Structure 1
Amino acid sequence: MNTATTIVLGNEKGGAGKSTLAIHVLAGLMEQGARVAVIDLDLRQRSLGRFVANRRRWLEANGVVAPMPLEPDLGADGKALALMPAAAQIERFDAAFAEVTDCDFIVIDTPGGDTALSRHAHGRAHQIVTPMNDSFVDFDLLGHVDPVTLDLLQPSIYSETVWEARKSRAAQGQGSIDWVVLTNRLGVPEARNRKRLDERMAKLAKRVGFRIGPGLRDRVIYRELFPFGLTVADLSPQVRPVPVSLAHVAARQELRNLMLALGHAHDDDRGGDLDQAA
């Protein structure tokens, strides 16, 4: 029986940073020594799947040993699977999900849109992590605000998706879902828009039941290592495809803070070698 903790990266809006976050959550878990499986349900883009493929090739080419995630087989290439009926997609997903029997975590990346497959995966989650940009455009998928007063009116479509996933798990006696929403690609920290957004986020969090976590700033560092299949969590004296700077150290601490907020990290210092190298 599958006893792994399932983490779903979800948001029905594209461009919110789900895949970037999925990659870094995966790397953060492996840094802790966890055994992790990944399922990429963004069937056309497949950023998470390409990251894992890049990682395998870079490690082999450079003779470096580093943790690799398990990839259960969905049974078809992404484009072909995307063209299948929803029932067939769900069947393939369930078979792949059942394949994972010896892992601590399953990380699932979902597409930027509402699909039957994505909703089905949400129903499997123990934890849903929702990144959003620092914008009322992104917030609109979580909650509607009054256009005159900016008061919170009601939860929106993605909040309803998570609510349905929670009802499904509760009906099956599978416990609750820990929902964490975080603002990604943060810009100027004291912007007026940020204050307004934070206030509405806090109100909606109480109303629909999510936690607010720390996001990742808009750093080139989070994107520059993608072609190598690496993240700042992987950097060490042995793993260094790019020159290391103090900015990498700051990004690594930011990732550690995120993992702590999600409840998947130990509050210790494992970045000493990187600090010295920088």
Structure 2
Amino acid sequence: MTAGTPHFIVFANEKGGSGKSTSAVHTAVALAAAGRRVAALDMDTRQRTLARYLENRQATVRRLGIDLPMPAFDTFDPAKGIPIDVRLDAMAADAEIVVVDTPGRDDVDARAAIIRADTLVTPINDSFIDLDLIGQVDAETYKVRRPSFYAELVWEARKQRGKRDGATVDWVVLRNRLQHIEARNMKRVAQAMGELSKRVGFRVVPGLSERVIFRELFPKGLTLLDLAAIGEPGIAHVAARQELREMISSFALPDWPAKRIAAAG
């Protein structure tokens, strides 16, 4: 990350229920808590999960009179006629890091955002159903037969990014909800994902477990880095916070000392 050049972290997955928005909002808040100037753009005009989460956070700050780390944020609405590249440039004007949460569908604006990504994050549930988004697996051998349409989409976006400014896209696949998978199936998914990562070119990192905690925090807009505001946090809160820290560290952002993440929260 060079001076004056914001780093774009784009969360994208065309399948719903993967924890994409939860991962995106926690990333934005964690980076803001660590002292970075962060802007977040919600591109899902209908659901607006990221934007609503941060609106709830603003309301908690006002209601309790407390100070919480807060990224700047907005929602992209194509109906307003402002091109997505113009909107992303505006968000990046005063930010070191721009976090983008794309909708769970394929559209021209989502593809444009992926092309802008320096770090592309694709959260998936740890199952063959979600893995099929990226690669097709043989029913008998569990070997990867071929990359799927989404891998081809990312491949094309990477080529366009290279032609555009010579930059590369670091593609990260988050394995979410690991603890709820039967051990043998988890191993098969891991093997298939490892094989596919070499063929397609992404890094596999552990994401966030399926925890009730995340759903409980949404109405107040709190994250696991806000333990002081949660009140009487339990062991599960602490464990989930460590998952979050490890997830952010695994993104391997440039000029990003791990100690800053450890100190946040």
TM score, norm. by length of structure 1? 0.87
**Larger helix proportion, structure 1 or 2?**
2
Asked if the contact 2:29–2:71 (Cα under 8 Å) also holds between the matched residues in 1, the reply is no
The secondary structure found in structure 2 opposite 1:172 is: helix
Tell me the distance in 2 between the aligned counterparts of 1:189 and 1:150.
16
Match of 2:258 among 263, 267, 277: 267
Name the structure 2 match of 1:106. 98
Asked if the contact 1:37–1:106 (Cα under 8 Å) also holds between the matched residues in 2, the reply is yes
Name the structure 2 match of 1:136. 128
- Deviation string for 1:44-88 (max 9, x for gaps)? 1000010111111110111111222112564x5xxxx4xx4xxx7
- Deviation string for 1:5-33 (max 9, x for gaps)? 00000111111110011011112111211
Name the structure 2 match of 1:116. 108
Q: Where in structure 2 are there 5+ consecutive unaligned residues?
A: none
Q: In the alignment, does 2:247 pair up with 1:255?
A: no
Name the structure 2 match of 1:95. 86
Q: CA deviation at 1:37?
A: 0.5
Tell me the distance in 2 between the aligned counterparts of 1:25 and 1:116.
25
Tell me the distance in 2 between the aligned counterparts of 1:174 and 1:29.
26
Name the structure 1 match of 2:51. 49
The verdict on how the C-alpha distance between 1:219 and 1:166 changes in structure 2, with shifts beyond 3 A counting, is same
The amino acid of 2:177's aligned partner reads: R
Q: CA deviation at 1:189?
A: 6.2
Map 1:155-170 onto structure 2 (within 5 A). 155-170=147-162
Q: In the alignment, does 2:235 pair up with 1:246?
A: yes
Tell me the distance in 1 between the aligned counterparts of 2:132 and 2:181.
21
Q: CA deviation at 1:2?
A: 6.7
Q: CA deviation at 1:161?
A: 1.4
Match of 1:18 among 17, 20, 41: 20
Name the structure 1 match of 2:41. 39
The amino acid of 1:47's aligned partner reads: T
The secondary structure found in structure 2 opposite 1:68 is: coil
The secondary structure found in structure 2 opposite 1:71 is: strand
Tell me the distance in 2 between the aligned counterparts of 1:247 and 1:270.
19
Tell me the distance in 2 between the aligned counterparts of 1:121 and 1:223.
27
Tell me the distance in 2 between the aligned counterparts of 1:26 and 1:148.
41
Map 1:91-240 onto structure 2 (within 5 A). 91-99=82-90, 100-188=92-180, 191-236=183-228, 239-240=229-230
The verdict on how the C-alpha distance between 1:145 and 1:29 changes in structure 2, with shifts beyond 3 A counting, is same
The secondary structure found in structure 2 opposite 1:38 is: strand
Tell me the distance in 2 between the aligned counterparts of 1:138 and 1:155.
13
Aligned length: 258
The amino acid of 2:233's aligned partner reads: V
Tell me the distance in 1 between the aligned counterparts of 2:213 and 2:114.
29
Q: Where in structure 1 are there 5+ consecutive unaligned residues?
A: none
Asked if the contact 2:42–2:75 (Cα under 8 Å) also holds between the matched residues in 1, the reply is no
The amino acid of 2:31's aligned partner reads: L
